[in-house]
Amino acid sequence: MAKGTYYPTSALDQKASFKVPNGVILMGGFKGLENRLEQRDWQANPSVLSGNIGNKNSDTDNTYHVMELISVDSSSLIDGFWIERGVSTTPGNNLSYRGGGIMIMANSSLFISNPRIGNCVFQYNSAIRGGAISLTAGNRIGRVKMYNCTFYNNTASLGGAIFIESRDLDGSFELNNCTFKTNQASQQGPCIYSYWNGNLTIRNCTFEENESQRGGGAIEIAGNLYAEDCVFTNNNSVLESLIRINAPSSINPRKAKIWVKRTSFVANTANVDVGLISFAWRNDETMDILFQQCSFKNNKNRLEYSLLNMFNGGGSKLFFQIDRCIFEGNGNNGRPRNPDLGMINIFNNADIAGGVTGTISNCVFLKNDRPFVIHHDNLGPTRISILNSTFIGNKLGTIIKRDRNPSQQAEVYLQNNIFYEDAAELSSMLQSTLRPTLSGFAFNHNLFSTPSCKTTTDTLGCGIGNIFGQYPKFVDSSSVSGLKLAPGSIAINAGRWHPELLALDLAGQPRVQDCKVDLGAYESPSILPAKDSLSAKAQIRSTPINQSLGEIGIQQISGGFPPYRLLWENGDTVRTRRNLAAGTYTLTLSDQQGCFKNYRFVVPFTTGVLDRVAQGEISLAPNPVPTGQPIKLFYQDIEPGSWELQLLDLTGKQLRNSRINLSTQGEMPIQLDALPKGVYLLKVSKDRQVFNHKFVIL
């Protein structure tokens, strides 16, 4: 279709729409002179599909849907259009209140709704459900893929831009490189409202200046969410959250994964105590939450404050992991109403069958208004580990733990963290608000700015390896990147390995170096002396050609943290291996902290106990070598001069003996004549310096 504006009818029929059959590829954006598809410029030559029939100054007589896609499969493609001014706001059946821009459905006989939509702009569409797009798949398969689309100024009660309804667990809605801007919902989900959908995937998408009057200031879903490389900025929820995720109550068993990676949340606002991003899980459900390499900066909650709010009730089980994330400058404009609401809230109201298990690792918490709060209200266990994270300049304490059930309490374990806050006592930094003690906390190998572990209200033992009253010596404490440890910091190598600690620090550098770990979110380059690094020294006795008397003995192990564990490639755990044939053997050495190193030992052939290995390197190629062809000897960094060359079989019988002149480096062919197939040994020696190499003739 060439550029221009197209209407589904020239009459005043609001039920009229562009009905695209299955299998059609519909392309817009042509100037009209192209002869190849790649010549088109769909943005410079807009092909506009408009529902603004009748009075152009009024939306009351516009078509209900600009386009309909009924039971189409993935062979159908809509690409390169501006779709605008569909109005589906009349209460009634599906024809009058869903999908102002595009209505996607599966009919009663064909159980599919799987179109592809790309390079499109959806603007000024409105509906009760799904201003721009409505997908209604019911129990049928719905798998929609969209790419490079823009949603601008679309409105609806539910799903200002997109409304999804599907009970199909295999259903999916995938968005790649899409932009949502200034969309609105009078109730929930100005960008996306997903009701019972299986999987919502968003990649490289931007959500900016969207607003809802109730839940989901950008997205509201019930199901799985996969978000990667997205940006949420300046979105607003007047009454509830920016992103709200509820249990898919019609699905049994009820399980969901919320995985958000490399995504930033900047300057968004909410207005209630349920959090900027909220999760509500109850009954017999399981939720798996992951935030990895995400950034939360300058987000505000005008009434209460909660950035991430996780509610778990009934017999539900909630697992969460927050890894390599940044929390900076988040708050509530200095107007706290409820001191028990924090930046991250964990509400565990589960019974004995449910519970919450979570890990926070390699994160930075910088200058946030509120603390991290754990609410433990029932019998289900709460176990939180906070590892290798940096807390600095946060207000009203760092971690608050509230245990309402006296027979059960939350367990909070801290290791390898830096807490550099203004609190004078540890109980002001780490506390249980319903018990004036630090019961339920365990902490080892942390740095606290408070002067000691003992406080006026608690004398609980403080674990091992903790540092008190010391400045960690940051590069520049005013910025997140400046929280790297400066040379000479007392926090360098002061940590210990932990089984839940992930492999990389906040900057993507290896977390464990030379079997040691720094405190805080960043790992500095290793500066350990050799004596502190896990290492092993071995003595090797070589094997005569016609015997199996070789031996590898581990003489010394140093560094790391004993006791040590040895594991050979054959499963042995001994320090000395005897009666070894010539060959290569591998050893894994580990310590009690889980640090490990792999070693490779070679038991060589030899013909004399006084032989010593020559300096330099010699190799043979090709190896194996076909019968009748020569093999090449490659050498470098050796002592020049006359060398003896011996060709032996594996019984030790000498087949050839000659002398060759070698320079420091080079190559030379060695004729093998008509030697039969088999394994042979080539020995090159000079003044008790010996190179031994096996080769195979095929």
Give the residues across from 279 on adjacent strands.
Answer: 245, 310
Can you give the residue ranges of every domain in the chain? Answer: 1-162+181-194, 531-605, 613-697
The phi and psi torsions of 96 (rounded to 5 degrees) equal: -125, -5
What does the block give as tokens for 548? 């199996």
Residue 612 has pLDDT above 50, yes or no: no
Residue the block writes with tokens 């386009």: 67
Which two tokens mark 608? Answer: 């004399």
Residue 615: the pLDDT is 65
User: Per DSSP, which regions of 591-640 are E strands?
Assistant: 596-603, 605-606, 612-613, 617-621, 631-636
| In the block, residue with structure tokens 């390898």 | 416
Distance, in Å, from the CA atom of 210 to the CA atom of 268, rounded to the nearest integer, reads 10
**Closest alpha carbon to 309 in 270, 335, 360, 347:** 347
Element spanning 429, H or E: helix 426-429
Q: Does the bond joining 640 to the residue before it have cis omega, within 30 degrees of 0?
A: no
Edge-to-edge strand ranges of the sheet holding 689-697: 612-613, 689-697, 678-686, 641-649, 654-662
Residue 337 near residue 301 (C-beta atoms within 8 A) = no
Mean pLDDT of the chain: 83
Pairwise CA distance, residues 551 & 536, whole Å:
16
Mean pLDDT of 329-337: 65
Give the 3-state secondary structure of 57-105: CCCCCCCCCCEEEECCCCCCEEECCEEECCEECCCCCHHHHECCCEEEE
Task: Encode burial over 217-243: b for 16+ CB neighbours within 10 A, e otherwise.
Answer: bbbbbbbbbbbbebebbebbbebbbbb
For 1-39, write each residue's pLDDT tens digit: 999 999 999 998 989 999 999 999 999 999 999 999 999
Q: What is the rounded distance in angstroms from the CA atom of residue 302 to the CA atom of residue 272?
A: 7
Q: In sequence order, what are the residues at sequence separation of 6 or more whose Cβ sits closer than 8 angstroms to the Cβ of residue 537?
A: 554, 555, 556, 557
Q: Does domain 531-605 have CATH number 3.40.50.12240?
A: no
Q: What is the pLDDT of residues 34-54, one digit of tens each?
A: 999 999 999 999 999 999 998
For residue 6, the surrounding DSSP H or E stretch is strand 4-6
Amino acid 546: pLDDT: 47
Residue 572, beta-bridge partner list: none
Task: For residue 627, give the amino acid letter.
Answer: T
**CATH number listed for the domain at residues 613-697:** 2.60.40.1930
Mean pLDDT of 288-298: 93
Element containing residue 428 per DSSP (H, E): helix 426-429
Strand 641-649, strand 654-662: pairing: antiparallel
- Examine domains 531-605 and 613-697 and report if their fold is the same: yes
Q: Which of 269-273, 380-384, 393-397 has the lowest mean pLDDT?
A: 269-273
Q: How confident is the model at residue 248 (pLDDT cuts 50, 70, 90)?
A: low
Output the six-digit token pair for 502: 């992930």
Q: What integer pLDDT is reported at residue 48 of this predicted model?
A: 97
Q: Which residue's entry shows tokens 């192209």?
A: 34
pLDDT at 62: 93
Where do we find the tokens 């009253």?
A: 469
> Alpha carbon of 501 to those of 385, 518, 564: distances in Å?
10, 12, 21
Mean pLDDT computed over 542-559? 72
Q: Which tens digit of pLDDT belongs to each residue from 662-695?
A: 888 888 888 887 788 888 888 888 876 778 778 8
d(CA 352, CA 482) in angstroms, rounded, equals 44
d(CA 153, CA 59): 14
The upper half-sphere exposure of residue 71, i.e. CA atoms within 13 Å in the direction of its Cβ, equals 7
**Taking residues 621-629, what's their average pLDDT?**
82
Q: Which two tokens stand for residue 468?
A: 């008190």
Name the pTM for this structure.
Answer: 0.77
CB 278 within 8 A of CB 247: no
How far apart CA 144 and CA 698 sit, in angstroms, is 57
